[in-house]
Amino acid sequence: MEPVKGNCDKWIDFAYNNWLVWERDEKRKGYLRESTRILVNRMKDAVTQKKQEEALNLLERLKRLGNNFNQLEEEFGSKSYLYEHAEIYMECALAAYSMDDLQEAISLFKISINGLPNRTMYKAISYWLYGCIQWQSQSHREDALISWEKGLQIFKDVQSDNNYDADYSKKCAGIIYDAQKGIMSASTNNYPPPPPESNPASAKTSAKPQKNTMRMFPIIGSIPAGSPVTVVDDSNESTISDGFEINSERYSIYNLQQDKLEINFSPSKRYYLLRVAGDSMNNASPVAIENGDYVLMVKQDEAGTGEIVAAEIKNVDREATLKKYYFKNGEYILRPMSKDNSLKEHLTFKNDFVIRGIAIAVLKRDVEEC
């Protein structure tokens, strides 16, 4: 059975907590005034506590409040209420959805989208959330994909706006990356995939190896999974594609992309291997990355939140590290995933690091062959 509702619920949580909350922080709490936020939080608390009558009463109060704000804006031309009604309706739509009233949620989202300004993150996020609800109707799945595509296009428009600083633009790039991956998977499978970092940790599962002939990947150096140290050049090593052998030892390959059954290599992208030195990623999921393993990297300078990256620290003699990447509250975080408590301190940056690649698979030595 397609995991449509479960994945849509996860996407709603992900987009709200990772995109909307961040945008509100950037916009100084968004369009809602403090008194309105209090009512919204009361409604959300009532929904969480399953006090449906109270939640419905607050939802209706907020709808009336939003309409009144809209009228004040039209009557007096005041900008102090600008778009507040649209954000109120977005919150009411999510509350209605949480109470299993999909039709009410759809109606409220339409009002929210129509009331939000064009080429803004709010409009893009509202389209994405609206699409999550549309996915759950078999007859509206094409509409859901279109809503996601509209959201993606607005994300791109916002990123191209020169009025934003580098940090904002980089956050937009991460959102675009996550949205594109979601759309591509949904287009292929006809239902939405789980969002980044929503897949539960699981035991190691060997991925299906690529059946086509694999070209050789250069091993360009070592990558520490502990404190950053200078990259060591071991370029004399190489992989042998017809058996997953490295220096005459056989390795099995494990996929880090749980939403894909196979590891497919695009001729338009560059790939390389890095040897892991250190234990700060030995509790990573879905596959532990241990000292002596190799990680298969795709070369790119952007990442989505929750992905494992090779990051090079600027102005520190080409120091690099393998970590899980996050963006939160205007900061870029490189987080270890270790069983060792002494290795759990994360690194926080503004703009003083660059991403050199995304880890897509782990190669582990085949003990049975040793």
Reported as a single tens digit per residue, the pLDDT across 321-355 is 888 888 776 677 888 888 877 766 666 655 567 88
In a domain? residue 197: no
Position 75 pLDDT exceeds 50: yes
* Cβ 322 vs Cβ 355: under 8 Å: no
Would 159 be classed as within a structural domain?
A: yes
Cβ neighbors of 234 (< 8 A, separation 6 or more) are 219, 220, 221, 222, 275
Question: Among 174, 189, 204, which residue terminates a domain?
Answer: 189
User: At which of 143, 168, 189 does a domain end?
Assistant: 189
Helices (H), the chain: 4-14, 21-26, 34-48, 52-76, 84-98, 102-115, 121-134, 141-159, 166-189
The tokens for 181 are 């991956």
Q: What's the CATH code of the domain at 157?
A: 1.25.40.10
Predicted local distance difference test score (pLDDT) of residue 200: 39
Residue 240 three-state SS: strand
The reply to whether 119 falls in a domain is: yes
pLDDT for 211 equals: 31
Residue 209 inside a domain? The answer is no
Q: How many domains does the chain have?
A: 2
Query: Which among 104-108, 254-258, 262-266 has the top mean pLDDT?
Result: 104-108
Q: Is residue 121 part of a domain?
A: yes
Is a pLDDT exceeding 70 seen at residue 98?
yes
Q: Tell me if the bond preceding 286 is cis, omega within 30° of 0.
A: yes
Tell me if 310 is assigned to some domain: yes
Answer yes or no: is 36 within a domain: yes
pLDDT above 90 covers a percentage of the chain that reads: 31
Spatial distance between the Cα atoms of 33 and 55, rounded to a whole number of angstroms: 20
What integer pLDDT is reported at residue 346 of this predicted model? 65
Which of 41-45, 133-137, 229-233, 255-259 bottoms out in mean pLDDT, i.e. has the lowest? 229-233
- Shared domain check, 303 and 177: no
Residues 256 and 353 in one domain: yes
Which residues span the domain enclosing 282?
219-369
Distance, CA of 54 to CA of 45 (rounded, Å): 10
Q: Indicate whether 107 and 44 sit together in one domain.
A: yes
Token digits of residue 54 = 């109270």
CATH assignment of the domain containing 262: 2.10.109.10
Q: Are residues 154 and 224 in the same domain?
A: no
Do both 121 and 179 map to the same domain?
yes
Contact 327, 310 (CB under 8 A): no
Residue-wise pLDDT tens digits, 182-195: 999 999 888 899 99
| Same structural domain, 241 and 365 | yes
- The more confidently predicted of residues 94 and 312 is 94
